[in-house]
Structure 1
Amino acid sequence: MLTARRRATASAAAALAGALLLASCGGSDSGGSSDAKTLRLWHYEAPNSAMGAAWTAAVKEFEANHPGVKVKFEEKSFEQIQKTAPMALNSSDAPDLLEYNKGNATAGLLSKQGLLTDLTAEVTARGWDKLMSPGVRTTSQYDTDGVMGSGKWYGVTDYAEYTMIYFNKDLFAKYRVPEPKTFDDLVTAMDTFVENDVTPLANAGAEYLAQQYLYQLALSKADRSWVDTYELYDGKADFHDAAWTYAAETFADWVKKGYIGKSSTSAKAEDAGVSFLQGKAPILFSGSWWYGRFQDEATFDWGTTLWPGSDLTLGSGGNLWVVPKSAKNKELAYDFIDITLSKKIQNLLGEKGGVPVAADTAAVTDPKAKELIDHFNTLSGRDGLAFYPDWPVPGFYDVLVSETQKLITGSEKPDDYLDSLQKAYDKGVPKR
């Protein structure tokens, strides 16, 4: 996202994550030595997400293996890191390790600017490269132009992610709507909900969700070469081609039909997730990063399905662990990454509803967690991970947010919307 994932965590969730992690660190001071080393860690996962739970366990494991070393987790939201990381990493106050968004416009840009540590030697020595499939490792490597897919390793992920349709089975049953197995089923379901004064789709115009709905619509009319042209500059991207045109026109039409509420223009991802959790919105299209939280908090029966009628969906290796060039304790950072890739932590991540890259899948027993991993294997088997819409060029995330908001309010027509995207994209594509 988000800047594929935009992984949404509200400030309250981030604060709670910080409180939990700090609590987990508090008893490990080995006598409170004032000269004990500290590993400063930033991430923005909710404490009851799969990654949040796994990394909390990793902190405990790390401190047990490193007597006298404390992990200092510093509360940051996704948006904070997204907007301030370049400045923070270019200062003496950089953390030792942080979660950062993958893609050309984010991790790629920082690698090009010389702000990230080249991890290639460490990756090879510790065998991390052997744990990742080609599709997952794509976003960990960047060339001298900051373009993903080849070159040096500037980040390491310990999970994968992808998008899917989450649906409230209780609401579908209440309105006698069949669970969506085809795209026509999805449209019929949305029509039925609108007829009953229920806005079908949870949406967030102020953050990543809205643009991801639109990108998925484009992907349903696209193929791998289209993705490579757009994301990897393998050709010239045309925002007035059949896929983008269909996406923009269909999205605008869905707003008119009431599938997407105009009131969602200023909503954030957290608002969309909460509307689904509260049973207000029967359908949410978003990422696997919500899975563990929904398992933990949902009080109704819910299910998932891949976007019907499309071989491609948004997804990739997960956000990256990156080590700032100016980090003071790089070896400790490498050790922490290594622990997050251990079987113990990977199996926990899978059990909690994540998509691990190095788990013993037979050790994952939860039925919903198994379903999540099975869906991912289906996508991987058909080369279906198509990355995220804001990745290609720096600043494109903000452009997509503001322009897609205009589609929701109706202040911009689809053709003008696509003109704006083309202009911003062309301006940012590196000369190669």
Structure 2
Amino acid sequence: MSPPTRPRRPRGTRGKRLAAAGAAALVLPLAACEALTPGSAAEAPGPRSAPSSTAVPDEDITLRLQFADAPLMVDALIAAFEEDHPRITIEPEFKQFNDYVKNLKLTMTSDTAPDIAQYAVGMSDLAEDGYVLDLAPYRDAYGWDEAVPPVSLDQLTAGLTSEATGGHALFGVPAGLSMTGIYYNKDLAARAGIDGPPATLAEFEDQLAAAQDAGLTPLGVGALDTGGLHLWAALLNQSMPTDDYWDWVNGTPGATIETDGAIDATERVIDWGSRGYYNDSANGTAQGDSTAQFTQGDSVFLVNGNWAAGQLATVMGDNVGFFPLPGERPGDPTVASGFSVSYAVSSQTEHPEAAGAFLDFMTSPEANQIIADNGFLPTNPEAVADPEGVLADVAAAHREAVTDDGITTFPDFAAPAMLDALRSGVQKLVADRVDPADYLDSLQDVWDEQHAD
């Protein structure tokens, strides 16, 4: 995959709607300020690179780490790192994903920015303004090109050149790779006459219908936050050419989400809802709650990401499996949304060497095993024990997608304001309260506002 560059698109003919979107966008930072108030805004520091030395000062150091995904994994990584580095203390600060993304700019530009922060949509803009440390010198000093798949580092360059090395800049290091897909309860699937993962999208629809005919809830969706987004994106991956999708996410001039393929995916979300395939109150159910309900046998299938695999394996054992949503035809490439749970370093940190040591620890065999045990894909699969059960299913699906060059980043990476538009828009699709063309038009409005000159 190519790194997410952000070229600007010429302004189109949506003047009134863009003006309205801009006015609405002014409300969000004000609300965020009232809710977060992390400190006064710090002056843009300009480009800053990590030092080339990997030596950590022999003194007591405390780092603050703010993140929004996989708290159990983060706790385990911190504990293992601190055991190896007894003079470095890392204080984790967990935020709900929606709040984290909404407040990321405010958090990272304040004078109380955390030393380390999870990479998320909007981080590229912050990197361009100098609020995120360029880690390219550490990439060379620690040998991260050898320890981490190049495709995973390419997603973290912000399309910039490093002033320190002259090569690609680097603004994050992965602590586990991800992909979304479909989990299934094997006992419930057998009750509905379903004997394994489908080979095509049409076959999956037949399985949803079979589950309903058996008196079961076919598909668990946590659309209150991101579960609905993952469902729509999974369908989009099967109906929109991957190159066209990447152009849209990367902000390529002239790119659009208003395509026939996107219409097909959007109509399918509405159709499945009208057929009663979703869990009751899908729009009022958070993704975490839909996962918990799935472990209790509330649905045959569940749309979610690999980050839920560890929890599901612990609770359900061998009764749960995983597969990527299949394409229209047998043998179609495996295409699925994914990214990496990655961490960036604030350019304001007083301890870049200690932060660099933590990021490097995440590439170690010990950290890779912790990452794998928590359902994420390790950056070095050879460094961990062979997974079993649903963890093996996830690993195999990820290998298929990587081989097919089919890992696409999440659609909210198209613009910092896209997440809200996607979440609320998909909720309307689930409830059949918006026309597919109007939904896509609303997303393109957000895209235009971000990428217009």
Q: TM-score, normalised by structure 2?
A: 0.79
- 1:169 aligns with 186
The 5 Å alignment of 1:353-392 reads 353-361=375-383, 363-392=385-414
Alignment of 1:72-151 (within 5 A): 72-101=91-120, 105-143=121-159, 151=168
Matched letter for residue 129 of structure 2: Q
Question: In structure 1, what is the equivalent of residue 250 of structure 2?
Answer: 232
- Call closer, same or farther: CA 1:178–1:364 in 2, change over 3 Å: closer
In the TM superposition, residue 315 of structure 1 has moved relative to its aligned partner by: 3.3
* Secondary structure of the corresponding residue to residue 286 of structure 1: strand
Contact 1:111–1:142 under 8 Å retained in 2: yes
2:48: which partner in 1? none
Matched, 1:416 2:438: yes
Q: Which amino acid aligns with 1:336?
A: F
1:202-237 per-residue CA deviation (whole Å, 9 max, x = no partner) reads 112221121221122122123332222222234523
Q: Is 1:250 aligned with 2:268?
A: yes
Counterpart Cα distance in 2 of 1:344 and 1:65: 11
Asked if structure 2 preserves the Cα contact closer than 8 Å seen for 1:211 and 1:401, the reply is yes
Q: 1:137 to 1:224 in 2, by over 3 A?
A: same
The code of the aligned residue for 2:359 comes to I
Equivalent of 2:311 in 279, 284, 293: 293
1:426 aligns with 2:448: yes
Q: Offset of 1:126 from its aligned partner?
A: 0.9
Distance across 2 between alignment mates of 1:134 and 1:222 = 25
Are the aligned partners of 1:277 and 1:298 in contact in 2 as well (CA < 8 Å)?
yes
Flag the 1:56–1:163 CA change in 2: closer, same or farther, 3 A. same
Of 406, 410, 413 in structure 1, the residue corresponding to residue 428 of structure 2 is 406
Greater displacement, 70-79 / 264-273: 70-79
Change (3 A) 1:329 1:343: same
Task: Please state if 1:329 is matched with 2:314.
Answer: no
Render the CA deviation track for 1:88-138: whole Å, top value 9, x for unaligned.
22223222212232xxx4221221232211111111211112223233223
**Which residue number in structure 1 is paired with residue 63 of structure 2?**
39
Once the two structures are TM-superposed, the CA of residue 382 in structure 1 deviates from its matched residue by 0.8
Pairwise CA distance, 1:43: 2.7
Match of 1:194, SS state, is helix
Deviation at 1:409, TM superposition (A): 2.0
- For the pair 1:279 / 2:297, whether they are aligned, the reply is yes
* Secondary structure, counterpart of 2:411 in structure 1: coil
Name the CA shift for 1:329/1:392 in 2 (closer, same or farther; >3 Å): same
Runs of 4 or more consecutive aligned structure 1 residues displaced over 6 Å after TM superposition: none
The letter of the residue matching 2:300 is P
Is the Cα–Cα contact under 8 Å of residues 118 and 154 in structure 1 kept in the other structure?
yes
- Judging changes above 3 Å, is the alpha-carbon distance between structure 1 residues 328 and 199 closer, same or farther for their aligned structure 2 residues? same
Question: Is contact 1:352-1:369 (8 Å) kept?
Answer: no
Offset from partner CA, 1:157-184 (integer Å, 9 cap, x none)? 1321111211000101122223232223
> CA distance change for structure 1 residues 374 and 409 in 2, over 3 Å: closer, same or farther?
closer
Change (3 A) 1:178 1:235: farther
Q: Given residue 159 of structure 1, which amino acid in structure 2 is its aligned partner? A: G
Cα distance in 2 between the residues matched to 1:85 and 1:135: 24
Instruction: List per-residue Cα deviations over 1:371-414 (Å, max 9, x = no partner).
Output: 32222111111101111111111200101111111112222111
3-state SS of 1:85 partner: helix
| Shift, 1:332, TM fit | 1.0
Aligned-partner Cα distance in 2 for 1:138–1:235 = 21
Relative to structure 2, which stretch is displaced further, 374-383 or 308-317? 308-317
Query: Aligned runs of 1:215-230 on 2, under 5 Å?
Result: 215-230=233-248
How far, CA to CA, are the matches of 1:363 and 1:168 in structure 2? Answer: 25
1:306: how far off? 1.7
Q: How far did 1:87 drift?
A: 1.6
Q: Which residue of 1 aligns with 2:196?
A: 179
Determine if contact 2:320/2:390 at 8 Å carries over to the other structure: no
1:32-67: CA deviations, max 9, x gaps? xxx83212222334455xxx1xx4343233323333
Residue in structure 1 matched with residue 53 of structure 2 by the alignment: none
SS at match of 1:322: strand
TM-align CA RMSD: 2.4
Q: Percent identity?
A: 24
Aligned to 1:61: 80
Contact 1:135 1:380 (8 Å CA) reproduced: no
Structure 1 residue 418, shift from structure 2 partner: 1.9
